[in-house]
Amino acid sequence: MQQTLNPWISRPAVETETAEPEAHTPPAAAITAPLRGMVEPDAADRLGRRTVAGTAGLWITGAHGGSGESRLADLLDGARATGHCWPVPQDGSAPKLLLVCRADMRGLTAARSALTQWASGAAPAVDLLGLAVLADAPGKTPKALRDFTAIVGGGAPRLWTLPWVEAWRHEDTPSVPSAREYQRFTTDIAALVADTSTTK
C-alpha cells in the first residue's frame, strides 16, 4: 500500500510510543538496630511502654488501633499482642517483636512514627524482626499507598505486605489463609523466632 505524503509535513509522521517513566524504587534498607543521631518523634506520636508478665516467643505490637495485632497474635504460635505498646519484660530481656499496621495512610504514618521511635533509641530494647502491613480493604492497594509502604518498610529490618482476608470478617477463630503471602510470612516468622542469633 502506498502512502501519500501530507504537503504540509516535510516527512512522514512516525508514531512513537512514549515510555512511561519508571517508578522510583527506594533502595533496600539495612536497618537492623537503632541508629545514632536519629531524632525521636514527638511525644504525641510515640507508642507507650508496658511491663509485661510472662513470656512469649514473639510479641506483636500494633502501631495503631485496628492494626490487626490481635489477629496475627492468634494466628502465630507462641505470639502475644501488646495492646499497642512496646513490651518491657520483667526480667529485663529484649523480646522479639513484630510491628503491625494497616495499609492505609493512618496506619502507615503510625508505623513510620513507631519505627522512628525504635531507630532513635527512644523505644525500650526489643529485637525488632520487621513490619507487617495488612491490607485495609479488598482489592489492589492504590499505587501511592504501595509506594509509601515501601518507604516506611525501608525503616524496618524486614517488610511483609499481606493481602486482605475476607474470611476473617466471618470467622471468630483465625486460620492461616491459603494466600502464598501468608504462607511465606508464617514460615519466615517461625524461622526468625526459632533463630536465637537474632536476639540482640
Q: What is the mean pLDDT of the chain?
A: 83
d(CA 153, CA 160): 8
State the pLDDT at residue 173. Answer: 64
- So what's the pLDDT on residue 177? 77
Check the CA dihedral 152-103-94-76 and report its sign: negative
Distance CA 68, CA 38 (A): 28
The tens digit of pLDDT for each residue in 146-197 reads 999 999 999 999 999 999 988 888 777 667 777 889 989 999 999 999 986 5
Q: What is the pLDDT of residue 14?
A: 53
Global confidence as pTM: 0.78
Over residues 94-105, the mean pLDDT reads 96
Q: Which whole number is the average pLDDT over 22-45?
A: 62
Highest mean pLDDT among 11-20, 110-119, 171-180: 110-119
Percent of the chain with pLDDT over 70: 76
Asked if residue 120 has pLDDT above 80, the reply is yes
Instruction: Determine the Cα–Cα distance for residues 128 and 32; give it in Å rounded to an integer.
Output: 8
Torsion, CA 109, CA 110, CA 116, CA 121, rounded to 10: 180
Looking at residue 148, its amino acid is: F
Residues 40, 108: Cα–Cα separation, whole Å: 17
3-state secondary structure of 49: strand
Query: Given pLDDT bands bounded at 50, 70 and 90, which one contains residue 36?
Result: low
* Helix 105-119 × helix 143-153 angle, to 10°: 10
CATH architecture of 43-194: 3-Layer(aba) Sandwich (3.40)
What does the domain layout of the chain look like in residue ranges? Answer: 43-194
pLDDT of 200 reads 45
